[in-house]
Amino acid sequence: MEILDLRHFSSVDLRPLLEDETRAWRDLLSWDYSGSAEMILRYVDAKILPGYAAINRGRIFGYSFFVYEGSKGVIGDLYVADGGRLPDPHQIESQLLTHVIETLQQSPGIHRVEAQLLMHESGVVSRSFVEQGFQRYARLFMVVPLVNTKAAPPLHTEVEIRPWSEQDYQPAATVINTAYRGHVDSEVNDQYRSLSGSLRFLNNIVRFPGCGTFDPESPAGTPWPDGKWTGQREAILRAPALVNILFTAPDIPLGPTYIRTALTWTTWRFTMNAVSYPTPVSPLSRESICRNLAYAAK
C-alpha cells in the first residue's frame, strides 16, 4: 500500500472510488453527493486539488483532500472504501489524515485548520486530530420524517415569510454573523465570525451545486414587517428523498417557529421522505429545539 499525492491521478483513476462514496452518502445520510463528486473530479483533472490517495496494486481505494482559504486550511473529505478487503480501514484513514494534517501545518501562512467529516461515526477519526492538538466538538445529524399533508405554510404573527431574493445576501449575512457570535459553531467554522466570512458562506450555499441545490422559492428569509431581519433560513435540496435545513436565529424562542415553518413548507413544496438538520451538541442549542419537533439523531 502506498500513499501518493492526489495530483498524480486523473478523474478516470478516482471515479470508481467517488461512485462508491456517493452510494455511501446516499445509504447512510440520504444525501446526494453526486454534485460534489463531479466537482472534485473536475478539480482532479485540472491538477489543482491538493490531497492524498491510498493505492493498492494500482487501484485507488482511499483519499483525502484539502483546500486553502487565505490563512486557513480546510480538510474537505476523507473516504476509504473497505469492501471487506482491508484488515483495518481505520488505519488507512489515520495515515491519510496524518499526511493531510502535516502538509497543512507545514504550509507557509496557514494558521488554522478546520475539518467537518460528516460521514464518520463520532470519535472514529478523532485520534489523528487530537494527537495534533486539535479541539474536538461534537455534532449531531438529525432527521425527522415528513408526512406530505400539502398544508399551507404557517405564519408567525410578527414576521413575514417570503422567498429568497438577491437583495437578501447582505442582511442575511449580518444575521448569520450576529446569530453565531459566541456560539460553538463559530469555533468550528470561523466564517461565522465576520460579515465577509458570512457572505462567503452564503455564496457557497446558494451558488455552488456541490454544496447542494439551493431552492430560491423556499421561505429563506424571515424579516420583521419593518424590514429588519431577525432570523434567516435556507432549504437545500440534497437528494430526491431528503431536504437539509440550515437555520440561524439570534432569538432562540422563535427557533421552533422558524423550523416548523420550514418543515411545513418543505412538505407543501416537495414530496420528501425526510428533512435533515446538522446541529452542535449543546444544552441550549438548536438540538433541543429539534428534539422537541420530533427530530432523531443519526
Q: Domain segments of the chain: what residues?
A: 2-136, 142-297
Q: CATH assignment of 142-297, given 3.30.1490.190, 3.20.20.60, 3.60.10.10, 3.40.630.30?
A: 3.40.630.30
Cβ-contact 136, 126 below 8 angstroms: yes
Contacts 24+ apart (CB under 8 A), 157-161: 158/224, 158/225, 159/222, 159/223, 159/224, 159/225, 159/230, 159/231, 159/254, 159/257, 160/222, 160/223, 160/224, 160/225, 161/219, 161/221, 161/222, 161/261, 161/265
Cβ-contact 259, 15 below 8 angstroms: no
The answer to whether domain 2-136 and domain 142-297 are alike in fold is yes
Cβ-contact 252, 289 below 8 angstroms: yes
Q: How confident is the model at residue 8 (pLDDT cuts 50, 70, 90)?
A: very high
- Predicted local distance difference test score (pLDDT) of residue 26: 84
Cβ-contact 46, 14 below 8 angstroms: no
Number of C-beta neighbours around residue 9 at 10 A: 18
For the CA atoms of 265, 270, 276, 279, the dihedral, rounded to the nearest 10 degrees, stands at -30
Cβ-contact 57, 3 below 8 angstroms: no
Of 108-122, 148-162, 164-178, give the range with the top mean pLDDT: 108-122
Q: What is the pLDDT of residues 57-95, one digit of tens each?
A: 889 999 999 999 989 999 999 999 976 666 688 899 999
Give the residue, 147 or 196, on which the prediction is more confident: 196
Taking alpha carbons only, the member of 64, 45, 76, 89 closest to residue 3 is 64
Amino acid letter, residue 225: P
Architecture of the domain spanning 2-136 = 3-Layer(aba) Sandwich (3.40)
Q: For the chain, how big is the Rg over CA atoms in Å?
A: 20
Read off the C-alpha cell for 191.
Answer: 466564517
Q: Is the pLDDT of residue 223 over 60?
A: no
Read off the C-alpha cell for 260.
Answer: 416548523
